[in-house]
Structure 1
Amino acid sequence: MYSQDQELLDFELPKNPNELYRDQNENVIDSIEIVKDSWIAVKVALHGVIYIFNLDATLLKKKNNKCLVIPPYILKWSDTDNYFMSCSVGLDGKLLACGDDKGSVWIYNLEDISFKCSTRDSKIINVNSVLKWPKLHDSYLKKKKKLEVDVYDIVIAKCAVHYSGNYLVAVTNNNFVCLYKKSTVKK
């Protein structure tokens, strides 16, 4: 419920850095997560990146009910034109995961990020690993007249990271679920 004495704020996000959609003027926030303390991760549709900024520091610079968001950290993400693929944060802000429209889950290790202060210059962070959607084989597919999984695009709509970081669940827009378990590779 909105109260008359509440103050509405306008958060001004960075201009779209994605060359494919640079002319898009609208900012559709399709995912927002608390990373740690007052640090927020925001994914804006068509930007191809995920912004991480300190909400408290941004609010301190408020002028005329406007807050200019200058993210100290920018995670490079997919150039997709799909909307509403949500991020997830785990391990107390040390891990961020976000799916795309190719059936992949992008995983970022945020362990080395200092969540103590905001910097003036944005630091670009590349993805640490990308989990591909598994190739499924259903031997009863033809007999049961079931639909093949890869007939439609696999759009990862939501990811959830277990608090231990050992499990990740990915859910698609057509209700497929994949559970990933962390493993160690011995060399």
Structure 2
Amino acid sequence: DKARASNQPAKEATPDQEAEGTQKNGEQFPKGAEPLHFLQCHSKGNSREDFKTQLWSCVFEPLLDCGARKGETVATCGGESVCLIDCETGVVLKKYKVATEEFFSVAWTTLPMVNSDSRKKSHNILAAAGRRGIVKLIHVAADFCYGEIKAHKKPIATVCFSPTQETHLFTASYDKRIALWDIGIPDCDYNFKASQLLVLESFSVPLRIALVPTCPEQYLLAGCEEGCFTWNIKLEKEQKNRPFEVTFQFPDEEGEMTTSHRVDGLAFLNDDVVASKSSKPGCIYLWSWSRSFDTKGKGCQRTVSAVILAELEWSTTDLSYLTLSTCPAKEHVFCGDEKGSVWIYNLSNYTTAWSSAKAKRSDKRIPPTQILKWPELQSNGDHLSEILINNVITDPTFTYLVALTSVNITAIWKKS
């Protein structure tokens, strides 16, 4: 089912914002983007009346060496289903449903699997997890969920794969633990063996996790219900259950430094700059990982102040779990709001200055380069309103922007 969209143009940036946000290579996205598809494909029981199912996580399928896909396929999850969508055509290519589940997170990895003829071939595997604490492993090309890992006894908030170890999967749960699993490589009969490698202990629920780009096998960063923490995840250490190494302090609304605040948005903008969003209204922090985290510090469970480089101007809503994303290749940050808008920040003019060890914090909040407004949508003649953007991402080529909403709508824009 599709909701009908009036093809209103996206809001243009003001001349000042446009000048401030122009990329080094002259490209900009999604200025001039057009709304392409608005899909209602996660409906409970396939009901076209379902505008209540919340959509939470989306990620683009990696390109395989054989080029079987064009990089236009996105996996989305929410409610009882996981969908694979062709962004160009709007066709839902595949749909995986578990009637007793509510999916919160999806992540891709590429495994060198052995075919029936004993030859190795790369295949994309999708991991999906949610309320039941179980990770489903799906071989998408074969339309087959070949296994599951009973990872936690409480819901899993988010999952992510290591960028350097294709079988290493992190699961962050409401049991206040982050687990590292080796999911193994299935044989031609889909037999596989999963094993738990690490358990990271947290004092609060982990909501977002990110591996540090310069050392993805050594440090993991997590935004939690009650703060921002990092752990040493190096597998050479014998200790399997580990406390956090550091908790980071951020300014509260009165300017006082505090560790007790919800961090519901977290992603690396580049190798060093972290974008994080807490419950402080109207603000997304940009801060330096290397200048904040001193590896020479003594002992675990230290408290350090985040070295903040700048603040991004954002919505003043006090609603939580409207997460942010980044596109490191294009130096952009994206975040949806409580009105169905997508805030877009082109930060290419700032990142060079921030790379200096002497870089000072910007005095003024950086405004969005562009705010992509939600178009008019109608269903059975009624306008859809009160739309929260729970998640928003772009594909690696910067052609498509996908936003997930609180009203069971997957929205896709395309650069015109």
TM range (shorter): 0.7 to 0.9
Map 1:42-53 to 2 at 5 A.
42-53=276-287
Structure 1 residues 66, 129: closer, same or farther in 2, change over 3 A?
Answer: same
- Quick check: 1:54 aligned with 2:288? yes
Percent of residue pairs identical: 27
Instruction: Give CA deviations for 1:74-133 in whole Å, capped at 9, x if unaligned.
Output: 111000111011111115151111000011000000111124125233342111110111
Separation of aligned partners in 2, 1:91 and 1:25: 27
What corresponds to 1:36 in structure 2? Answer: 270
What corresponds to 1:128 in structure 2? Answer: 369
Separation of aligned partners in 2, 1:42 and 1:164: 24
Separation of aligned partners in 1, 2:313 and 2:345: 10
The letter of the residue matching 1:168 is: L
Q: CA RMSD in A?
A: 2.7
Match of 2:398 among 140, 165, 184: 165
What corresponds to 1:145 in structure 2? Answer: none
Helix, strand or coil for the counterpart of 2:376? coil
Map 1:20-99 to 2 at 5 A.
26-60=260-294, 65-90=302-327, 92-99=329-336
Shift of 1:38: 2.1
Shift of 1:179: 0.6
User: Which has the greater radius of gyration?
Assistant: 2
Separation of aligned partners in 1, 2:361 and 2:273: 16
Q: CA contact under 8 A between 2:377 and 2:383: conserved in structure 1?
A: yes
Helix, strand or coil for the counterpart of 1:56? helix
Helix, strand or coil for the counterpart of 2:384? helix
Structure 1 residues 25, 41: closer, same or farther in 2, change over 3 A?
Answer: closer
Q: CA contact under 8 A between 2:246 and 2:304: conserved in structure 1?
A: yes
Separation of aligned partners in 1, 2:393 and 2:315: 18
- Quick check: 1:179 aligned with 2:412? yes
Structure 1 residues 90, 7: closer, same or farther in 2, change over 3 A?
Answer: closer
Instruction: Give CA deviations for 1:116-152 in whole Å, capped at 9, x if unaligned.
Output: 12523334211111011111244xx16xxxxx4525x
Helix, strand or coil for the counterpart of 2:401? strand
> How many residues of Structure 1 are paired with residues of Structure 2 in the alignment?
171
Q: CA contact under 8 A between 1:103 and 1:132: conserved in structure 2?
A: yes
Structure 1 residues 179, 55: closer, same or farther in 2, change over 3 A?
Answer: same
Structure 1 residues 60, 25: closer, same or farther in 2, change over 3 A?
Answer: closer
The letter of the residue matching 1:55 is: W
Deviates more, 1:43-52 or 1:58-67: 58-67
Deviates more, 1:88-97 or 1:68-77: 88-97
The letter of the residue matching 1:46 is: K
Deviates more, 1:67-76 or 1:56-65: 56-65
Q: CA contact under 8 A between 2:325 and 2:335: conserved in structure 1?
A: yes
- Quick check: 1:150 aligned with 2:384? yes
List gaps (5 residues or longer) in structure 1.
143-147
The letter of the residue matching 2:374 is: W
What corresponds to 1:116 in structure 2? Answer: 355
Deviates more, 1:111-120 or 1:30-39: 111-120
Separation of aligned partners in 1, 2:289 and 2:388: 30
Structure 1 residues 175, 5: closer, same or farther in 2, change over 3 A?
Answer: closer
The letter of the residue matching 1:68 is: S
Separation of aligned partners in 2, 1:73 and 1:173: 29
The letter of the residue matching 1:121 is: R
List gaps (5 residues or longer) in structure 2.
1-198, 201-238
Instruction: Give CA deviations for 1:32-63 in whole Å, capped at 9, x if unaligned.
Output: 00110021100112331111111111112968
What corresponds to 2:20 in structure 1? Answer: none
